[in-house]
Amino acid sequence: MHGTPLDSRNVTQRFQAILKAFGLPRHRFHDLRHSAATLLLVQGVHPRAIEQILGWDQGVMLERCTHLVDEIRMDAADRMDAILKPVGVTVGVKSGKTSVS
């Protein structure tokens, strides 16, 4: 029936069946919220917008999503390089060192 709450057992069983069908490890259905937050963050969505979408209080996202993905860190370094390169400074993320050209 449409518009009624879903039975959590059915949702969990169906989710686990989908994971198994694709050869993926078991995960909690709730983990999809964190995956969604991370994917939105990688796409450049503002953290405050993500918090509102997920119904989190302000600041909660930074606590829950401290496992920022490498793409975000690399993007931040690339953006800083774009600012600093004209003055001869390069930020090295891989080596962890800053060098002057």
Tell me, yes or no, whether 63 lies in a domain: yes
Are 52 and 62 in a shared domain? Answer: yes
pLDDT average, residue stretch 90-95? 58
pLDDT average, residue stretch 21-28? 94
40-76 pLDDT per residue, tens: 887 888 888 888 888 887 777 666 665 666 677 788 8
pLDDT at residue 97 in the model: 47
Task: Domain of residue 73: give its range.
Answer: 69-101
Are 60 and 81 in a shared domain? Answer: no
Domain tally, the chain: 2
Please, is 61 exposed, middle or buried when counting C-beta atoms within 10 Å of its C-beta (0-12, 13-18, 19+)? buried
Tell me, yes or no, whether 11 lies in a domain: no
